[in-house]
Amino acid sequence: MKIVTWNAHMGFRNKQKDLVERLNPDIAFIQECEDPDKYPGAFPDSLFPFRLWKGDNKDKGIAVFSKYKITEIEDKSPSSKFFLPVEINGMFFIGIWAVNDRDYPQNRYIGQVWNIINQYKELLNNEIIILGDFNWNIFWDNKQWSTLIADFRDVNAMLNKVDIVSVYHNYLKEDFGRETNPTYFHLFNEKKPFHTDYIYLKKNTLDSIKDFSVGKYKEWDSDHMPLFVEM
């Protein structure tokens, strides 16, 4: 199974064919994605016969596209807007696009990720993949302006307790905060690279990974690079 997470920076209807031709994912979680229902005919079933979208702006939400049937799981985190808990092909997924939260600043970015995952603790003992644009790196945890419900270390601690780990850091043997492959280029600037996108899965499935990659700057039409894993 081939899985992708990518913040496509809107207009995914014009980018999906390129994604399929280059990575051919069976399942793709897309952040900053338009609602397919707004653009009839722009999302052919020949690419992905199943899709699910969530958001409050028809041009900028979160979506999952799949070659397999998607079963949506109950929404338990009304304080967070952009996440999709689903079951696909016998596996659970939580797709996340973490954003700012001006009404409740402690719930922004990685605090939001912690809040969402915490609402679905009952799923964490199953085969599950948690993935998306977290808009955060662990080196921001100690910044004075980063007062949050929880930080990245808290998120990792919660997930590691149930043997859920980051694919990137385990596959490439790199430490958090010392990533050598950026996933985000602020304002599309190659000189402002950050690692803010992630795929987490059960530790006992790491050996089943056949391939993993991070997109390269200017090779993709977005400020974020896609993360790809094949199992």
Q: State pLDDT tens for residues 7-28.
A: 999 999 999 999 999 999 999 9
Q: Would you state the pLDDT for residue 64?
A: 98
Question: What does residue 109 show for φ and ψ, rounded to 5 degrees?
Answer: 50, -120
Q: Dig out the tokens for 148 from the structure.
A: 């949050």
The per-residue pLDDT for range 77-94, each reduced to its tens digit, is 767 889 999 999 999 999
Q: Cβ distance 167 to 210 under 8 Å? A: no
* CA–CA dist 43, 50 (Å, integer): 10
Domains of the chain in sequence order: 2-230 (3.60.10.10)
Task: Work out the mean pLDDT of the chain and round it to a whole number.
Answer: 96
pLDDT at 144 over 70: no
The per-residue pLDDT for range 26-59, each reduced to its tens digit, is 999 999 999 999 999 999 999 999 999 999 999 9
* CA–CA dist 51, 49 (Å, integer): 7
Helix (H) / strand (E) containing 18:
helix 16-23
Q: Would you state the pLDDT for residue 10?
A: 98
The per-residue pLDDT for range 167-204, each reduced to its tens digit, is 999 999 999 999 999 999 999 999 999 999 999 999 99
The per-residue pLDDT for range 100-113, each reduced to its tens digit, is 998 888 999 999 99
